[in-house]
Amino acid sequence: MAKYCKNNRVLEASAKLLESSTFELNEENDQATAVFMTREIAKNAGFNLADEVMVATAVSELATNILRYASCGRIRVIVIQNGDGRTGIEIGAEDKGKGIRDLKLAMQDNYSTAESLGLGLPSVERIMDEFEIESEIGQGTRIRARRWL
Amino acid sequence: MEADSFRLLNGVKAMMDSGDEYSVSGSVTNRCYIACINGELSSAQMGQLYDEIVRMAEKRELRGVIMDLNGLAVLDSAAFCVLRKISGALALMGLKSAWMGIKPAIASSLVDFGADVDDLCICQNIEDGVRLMSFQK
């Protein structure tokens, strides 16, 4: 399984889970639901409007990728707290699609196998404070990303 | 918290059922078509939006199109790409286009995700847009 982490930093396993919501993605309306709900979750967790939109944009990017490349999958939005009591949002996206052949290439700006600008994954990495992606050909892709308050 | 989430989810479902999750409405002022885009754009809806705007531009003798984005909940890179594509197609048809009403939070996310906004024509309101359509070369 290939793995890539933002700044070569693996996500800490010790973050405490405060609240978790899972969104199944099977059709396009599911994406709108996930985005809408993520904004509400981020707002309730104390994020300001700009950060709330930022986190929802990351969910929208990941949902677009899942529906476009894997047809279906799920996104989990979790409110977490680290050891210092700092609150954050973790987004987990997973699908059982074809997987990504070259993760380093996929994380480069303007790389895309579909008709798009190829900004999707690099933009999620930029928007979020922590980001990791694992993918295996024929098995699927799993992404976890965190943004802290 | 779960009860709140459930109520919220029901609210979203009601919104989806009523078809309010995405809409485009438009009007023509001074030969400029003002397309108000609301809600959250899915891939299929983005394709539909492209068709609607380009078809509208072809039908009428327009000078340009102003895309009012004030009603958008978020703007991800796929939706951004379609809006750019619409502006590109309109330019090839000899029409001008301007984006209007980008909310501060969406502007921040666009900058943060590295969207190239340099060559876009942005206006603050309809008057600005119509003026730009008149003078833009």
Give Cα separations from A76 to A1, A34, A44, A110, A145 (angstroms): 21, 9, 16, 27, 11
Helix axes A49-65, B77-92, angle to 10 degrees: 80
Q: Is the pLDDT of residue A68 over 90?
A: no
Share of chain A above pLDDT 90, in %: 60
Strands (E), A26-124: 73-81, 87-95
User: In the predicted model, what is the mean pLDDT of residues B98-114?
Assistant: 89
Interface probe with B: pick from A20, A36, A79, most Cβ of B within 10 Å = A36
Q: Is the pLDDT of residue B15 over 90?
A: no
User: In the predicted model, what is the mean pLDDT of residues A12-33?
Assistant: 90
pLDDT, residue B54, reads: 87
User: In the predicted model, what is the mean pLDDT of residues A9-16?
Assistant: 85
What's phi and psi for B73, nearest 5 deg? -75, -45
Contact B51, B86 (CB under 8 A): no
| Interface of chain A toward chain B, CB-CB under 8 angstroms | 19, 21, 28-29, 31-33, 35-37, 39-40, 44, 49-50, 52-54, 56-57, 60-61, 64, 67-68, 109, 116-117, 119-120, 122-124, 126-127
Q: Is the pLDDT of residue B73 over 50?
A: yes
Task: Output DSSP code: residue B87.
Answer: H
Q: Is the pLDDT of residue A39 over 60?
A: yes
Cα–Cα distance between A133 and A137 in angstroms, integer? 13
Q: Beta strand A73-81 with B22-29: parallel, antiparallel or unpaired? A: unpaired
Residue A80, token pair as written in the block: 């977490």
Which is nearest to B66 in space by CA: B121, B136, B119, B109? B121
Q: Which of A36, A60, A126 sits opposite B76 (nearest CB)?
A: A60
Task: Output DSSP code: residue B124.
Answer: S
Q: Is the pLDDT of residue B11 over 70?
A: no
Quote the longest CA-to-CA distance of chain A.
43
| A2-148 CATH | 3.30.565.10
Which chain A residues are closer than 8 Å to B75 by Cβ?
57
User: In the predicted model, what is the mean pLDDT of residues A50-68?
Assistant: 92
Q: Map out the domains of chain B with their CATH numbers.
A: 25-132 (3.30.750.24)
Least confident of A30-39, B5-14, B23-32, B99-108: B5-14
Interface probe with B: pick from A24, A25, A53, A87, most Cβ of B within 10 Å = A53
What's phi and psi for B136, nearest 5 deg? -60, 140
Task: Write down the ipTM of this complex.
Answer: 0.75
Cα–Cα distance between B69 and B67 in angstroms, integer? 6
B81 touches chain A (CB under 8 A): yes
Residue B80, token pair as written in the block: 């951004």
pLDDT, residue A63, reads: 93
Q: Do B112 and A37 touch (CB under 8 A)?
A: no
Cα–Cα distance between A77 and A22 in angstroms, integer? 6
Residue A54, classed as helix, strand or coil, is helix
Give chain A's mean pLDDT.
89
pLDDT, residue A111, reads: 60
User: In the predicted model, what is the mean pLDDT of residues B104-131?
Assistant: 88
User: In the predicted model, what is the mean pLDDT of residues A99-113?
Assistant: 76
Q: Is the pLDDT of residue B21 over 60?
A: no
